[in-house]
Amino acid sequence: MKLINGGVCAAKGYKANGIHCGIRKNRTKNDLSLIVSEKRATAAAVYTTNLVKGAPLAVTKKHISDGYASAVICNSGNANTCNANGAEIAEKMSSLIADKLGICASDVVVASTGVIGQPLDITPIANGIPALVEGLSTEGGAAAAEGIMTTDTVRKEIAVEFEIGGKTCRLGGIAKGSGMIHPNMATMLVFITSDVAISAEMLQKALSSDVTSTFNMLSVDGDTSTNDMVVVLANGMAENPEIVSEGEDFSTFMKALNTITVQLSREIVGDGEGATKLLECTVSGAKDLATARTVAKSVVCSSLLKAAMFGADANWGRVLCAIGYSGADVDVSRVDVSFKSNAGEILVCKDGAGVDFSEELAKQILLEKEIDIIISVGNGEGTATAWGCDLTYDYVKINGDYRT
């Protein structure tokens, strides 16, 4: 497994682009992105569980119900959610780009992100499509990554190279996500491309399995979005023997996919709205996987713990508190807690009680940009990792006037 450049254009047969078409007022920011596969690809997706869903999700779900897609179009600046004509606009976006590319509209994944409840004018999108298509390039992944950003401060992209059946294969992805991040699949936009030959059924199995330990294990603010999704395309152009069942080749693909999703998960929470620190909580010793996940997610979701991390305050009681209300079946008298970063590691709680530790060293550890919260809850085999970020003054500032 080797990290490479290229993002969503790293795999064979993909081109991308991103432009400013006029949805967003700031002309320096791209607001329309396109990813195209040279060959019709198998497709899989997971979607937000919020009952309020953006129209693009329903349209995309219908379009890829046959397990195939050829292109992804996405706008930022407007979520196209809770609009009377939302589905009509999403379908129009699909048909406009399909006509320009010479493909079927039903082979287009359509996505939108931004403000909820404001009408989306199709005019700037329609006017921008010629330039969007004309600028498609194997070097266009970065521009596409920028076009899906909202309050993100950095673009998020990664790609890996690996081997299946003696063939060199690649998998790459881009993501957006900074606020409204508390997935029960999924609270962000993630587009992943691959040249692996894999059936639609196995691709969906891989994605659905992976998100339970990656995108569903991160939280910025506890709010689950209305719009967002994770989509994977695989066009088979690596010419490996098609993956149609579990086995060594499927396991290799799963490892590559997980490499992408873990890194994008970390980048999303690391760029949380107003965040200054990335938190990684690892739980071990739980009686089972579900218990470990419950504990880890509860800790990174705690507003009090997140605020303490912002202030570099080793207030380990907030970790215990989050474990206690998580609903997980744990023996609190067996809980150990440590904080770790590039500045060192310090034990702050042993068997559910405080221990003597250096507040000065703890402060230095918690002043780092990346902090590990290490928790043991017994001697079981359940382990899990969750990711979050600190809670800062700027989160309130950003969201106090997000719409206006």
Residue 302: give its domain's CATH number.
Answer: 3.10.20.340
- State yes or no: pLDDT of 307 exceeds 90: yes
Judgement on whether residues 250 and 298 belong to the same structural domain of the protein: no
- pLDDT tens-place string over residues 130-180: 999 999 999 999 999 999 998 888 899 999 999 999 999 999 999 997 665
Judgement on whether residues 217 and 299 belong to the same structural domain of the protein: no
CA distances from residue 55 to 85, 115, 257 in whole angstroms, order as listed: 9, 13, 27
Out of 240, 270, 300, pick the residue that ends a domain: 270
- In angstroms, rounded to a whole number, what is the distance separating the alpha carbons of residues 292 and 107? 39
Judgement on whether residues 251 and 301 belong to the same structural domain of the protein: no
Six-digit token string for 325: 């209300």
Q: Which of 148, 156, 157 is nearest to 9 (CA)?
A: 157
Judgement on whether residues 244 and 304 belong to the same structural domain of the protein: no
CATH of the domain at 81: 3.60.70.12
Judgement on whether residues 290 and 253 belong to the same structural domain of the protein: no
Q: What does the pLDDT read at residue 302?
A: 94
- State yes or no: pLDDT of 40 exceeds 80: yes
Task: Say if residues 319 and 373 touch (Cβ distance below 8 Å).
Answer: yes
Q: What does the pLDDT read at residue 27?
A: 86
- State yes or no: pLDDT of 43 exceeds 50: yes
Out of 225, 242, 270, pick the residue that ends a domain: 270
- In angstroms, rounded to a whole number, what is the distance separating the alpha carbons of residues 94 and 242? 29
Number of domains in the chain: 2
Q: What does the pLDDT read at residue 269?
A: 85
Check residues 157 and 225 and name the one with the higher pLDDT: 157
- In angstroms, rounded to a whole number, what is the distance separating the alpha carbons of residues 76 and 90? 13
Coil/strand/helix, residue 311: coil
Task: Say if residues 72 and 191 touch (Cβ distance below 8 Å).
Answer: yes
Six-digit token string for 227: 């719009």
Check residues 28 and 90 and name the one with the higher pLDDT: 90
Q: What does the pLDDT read at residue 131?
A: 97
Judgement on whether residues 252 and 282 belong to the same structural domain of the protein: no
Q: What does the pLDDT read at residue 186?
A: 47
Q: What does the pLDDT read at residue 400?
A: 81
Percent above pLDDT 70 for the chain? 96
Judgement on whether residues 283 and 326 belong to the same structural domain of the protein: yes
Lowest mean pLDDT among 109-123, 220-234, 246-260: 220-234
Out of 249, 270, 291, pick the residue that ends a domain: 270
> How far apart, in Å, do the first and last CA atoms of the chain sit?
45
- pLDDT tens-place string over residues 316-372: 999 999 999 999 999 999 999 999 999 999 999 999 999 999 999 999 999 999 999
Judgement on whether residues 193 and 248 belong to the same structural domain of the protein: yes
Judgement on whether residues 243 and 380 belong to the same structural domain of the protein: no
User: Within 13 Å and on the Cβ side, how many CA atoms surround 174?
Assistant: 28
Backbone angles phi, psi at 334, to 5 degrees: -115, 10
Check residues 155 and 52 and name the one with the higher pLDDT: 155
Q: Confidence class of residue 116 from pLDDT cuts 50, 70 and 90?
A: confident
Judgement on whether residues 178 and 225 belong to the same structural domain of the protein: yes
- Per the prediction, the chain carries an average pLDDT of 93
Task: Say if residues 140 and 9 touch (Cβ distance below 8 Å).
Answer: yes
Judgement on whether residues 21 and 54 belong to the same structural domain of the protein: yes
Cβ neighbours for 67, distance < 8 A, ≥ 6 positions apart: 42, 43, 44, 199, 200, 201, 203, 204
Task: Say if residues 323 and 294 touch (Cβ distance below 8 Å).
Answer: no
Neighbours of 250 (CB within 10 A): 17
Lowest mean pLDDT among 127-131, 241-245, 319-323, 398-402: 398-402
> In which domain, by residue range, is 388 found?
278-400
Task: Say if residues 296 and 283 touch (Cβ distance below 8 Å).
Answer: yes
Coil/strand/helix, residue 384: strand
Q: What does the pLDDT read at residue 223?
A: 63
Judgement on whether residues 221 and 250 belong to the same structural domain of the protein: yes
| Confidence (pTM) | 0.87
Q: What does the pLDDT read at residue 151?
A: 80
Coil/strand/helix, residue 2: strand
Task: Give me the active site residues, please.
Answer: 187
